Structure 1
Amino acid sequence: MNIKIFTRIIEGGSGLGWTLEVILLLAVVLAPLEAGMAWAGNGMVVPAGSNPHLLVTPAEVWENRDHWLVIDLRDRQAYLAGHVPGAIHLGGRGHEMLREDRHIPFYGDEKVDPKRGRLIEHLEPRPVAEMERVFAEAGVSHEHTVVLYSDHEDTLPGYTFVPFVMLEYLGHRDVRVMDGGIENWWAHRLPLERTESQLPPSDFRARLRPGVIAREAEILRLARFNPSYLGDIGVDPHQFQLPQLVDVRLDVEHSGAQPAPPGHFLFDAVIRTGRIPHTEVNVPHWQQFADFESLRLKPIAELAAMYGGLDRQRRTIVYCYIANRASMSYFVLRVLGFADPAVYHDSWIIWGNNPRLPLVQDPGVKRLPRVPMAGGY
Structure 2
Amino acid sequence: MNIKGTKHLFKIILAGAVFCCSSPPVFAASGPDLIVDKVFLKDKISKPGWACMDMRFPDEYAEGHIPGAVLMPGWISTLYAEDTKRSETLLPRLEKELGALGISNESHVILYGAVGRTTWNAVMFWALETMGCNSSLAKCTVQFYDGGIEGWQTEGESLEKTAGNPAAATFKAVPETKRGVKTDELMQVIEGGKKAVIIDVRTAGEFQGTDIRALRGGHMPTAVNVDFFKNFNATSSRMRPLSELKSLYKDIPADGRVITHCQTGQRAAYSYLVLRTLGYENVAIYHDGWRVYGSNLNLPVENETWYDFYKINTTIKAVQELKEKM
TM-score range relative to shorter protein: 0.7 to 0.9
Deviation string, structure 1 residues 250-279 (Cα, Å, up to 9, x no partner): 01111111124xxxxxxxxx1100001111
AA matched with 2:200 = D
Q: What residue is the counterpart of 2:212 in the other structure?
A: 259
Q: Determine whether 1:288 maps to 2:231.
A: yes
Percent identity reads: 29
Richer in helix (by share): 2
Deviation, structure 1 residue 99: 4.2
- Match of residue 186, structure 2, among 214, 219, 227: 219
Tell me whether 61-70 or 137-146 shows the greater mean CA deviation.
61-70
Per-residue CA deviations over 1:50-75 (Å, capped at 9, x if unaligned) read 71110111232112223331000112
Runs of 4+ that moved beyond 6 A: 365-370
Amino acid at match of 1:246: I
SS of residue paired to 2:163: coil
Distance 1:91 1:200, change over 3 A: same
CA contact (8 A) 1:212 1:341 kept: yes
TM-score, normalised on structure 2?
A: 0.78
Q: How does 1:1-377 map to 2 (within 5 A)?
A: 51-67=31-47, 68-92=50-74, 94-96=76-78, 98-99=79-80, 101-102=82-83, 124-125=86-87, 127-152=90-115, 154-155=117-118, 158-173=119-134, 174-225=141-192, 242-260=195-213, 270-279=214-223, 281-289=224-232, 291-361=233-303
338-347 vs 82-91, greater mean Cα deviation:
82-91
Aligned to 2:20: none
Q: What SS does the corresponding residue of 1:361 show, helix, strand or coil?
A: strand
CA contact (8 A) 2:66 2:160 kept: yes
- Structure 2 portions without partners, runs of 5+: 1-28, 135-140, 313-326
After superposition, give the CA deviation of every residue in 1:271-292 in whole Å (9 maximum; x if it has no partner): 100001111x211111110x23
Structure 1: gaps (5+ residues): 1-48, 104-122, 226-239, 261-269, 371-377
Q: Distance between the aligned counterparts of 1:201 and 1:298, measured in 2?
A: 37
**Equivalent position SS for 1:273:** strand
Q: 1:25: which partner in 2?
A: none
Deviation digits for residues 308-336 of structure 1, max 9, x if unmatched?
A: 11111111000110110000011111111
**1:241 Cα offset (Å):** 5.5
**Retained in 2: the 8 A contact 1:180–1:297?**
no
How many correspondences in the alignment?
A: 273
Deviations 1:291-311 (A, max 9, x none): 233211011111111111111
Match of 1:21 in 2: none
